[in-house]
């Protein structure tokens, strides 16, 4: 029953979303104390948690997307902070040598801003904050969209 509910949730959240108003720019500090912003940049956001099996399974794809971005887009990883610790997330990323910038959403404000209801959640934004694509799992369609953006700017 739980797998059925999870499958339904993923189906409902895997769609092309057309927000009528753009999201305000994400301005945050990464785990390594770098300021990061989605303002005026095509941005791929991934919301995740270390206890989320699908999230963990997809992390190599996120790293690959980050390494292949070629200034065509930026990758921002957002740990949702729910049942997580800053130290635990940092240790997890270090253990697997992930290089993508990661923000720890300790108060859930970023997760709420982007209306994320579950993990994983992938959101592709244009340089104005308009949502181009949203999906629950890393889909072939998302991979195709990212591939077309590589080095396009």
Residue 71 has pLDDT above 50, yes or no: yes
Contacts of 127 (CB under 8 A, 6+ apart): 40, 41, 42
**Is residue 46 a contact partner of residue 124, using CB atoms and an 8 Å limit?**
no
Percent of the chain having pLDDT more than 70?
85
Backbone angle region of 115, left / alpha / beta, with phi > 0 → left and psi within -120 to 50 → alpha: left
| DSSP 3-state of 27 | strand
Percent of the chain having pLDDT more than 90?
82
Please report the domains of the chain, with CATH numbers, ordered by start residue: 2-149 (3.40.30.10)
Helix, strand, coil share of the chain (percent; to 5): 35, 20, 45
End-to-end CA separation in angstroms for the chain: 45
- Tens digits of per-residue pLDDT, 96-121? 999 999 999 999 999 999 999 999 99
Q: What is the mean pLDDT of the chain?
A: 88
């Amino acid at each position: 029953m739980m797998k059925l509910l999870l499958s339904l949730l993923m189906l409902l959240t895997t769609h092309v979303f057309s927000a009528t108003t753009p999201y305000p720019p994400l301005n945050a500090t990464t785990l390594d104390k770098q300021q990061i912003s989605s303002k005026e940049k095509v941005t791929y956001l991934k919301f995740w948690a270390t206890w989320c099996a699908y999230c963990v399974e997809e992390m190599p794809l996120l790293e690959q997307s980050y390494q292949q971005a070629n200034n065509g887009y930026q990758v921002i990883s957002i740990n949702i902070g729910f049942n997580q610790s800053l130290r635990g997330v940092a240790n997890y990323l270090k253990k697997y040598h992930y290089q993508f910038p990661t923000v720890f959403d300790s108060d859930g404000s970023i997760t709420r801003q982007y209306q994320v209801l579950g993990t994983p959640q992938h959101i592709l934004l244009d340089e104005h904050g308009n949502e181009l694509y949203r999906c629950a799992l890393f889909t072939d369609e998302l991979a195709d969209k990212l591939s077309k953006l590589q080095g396009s700017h």
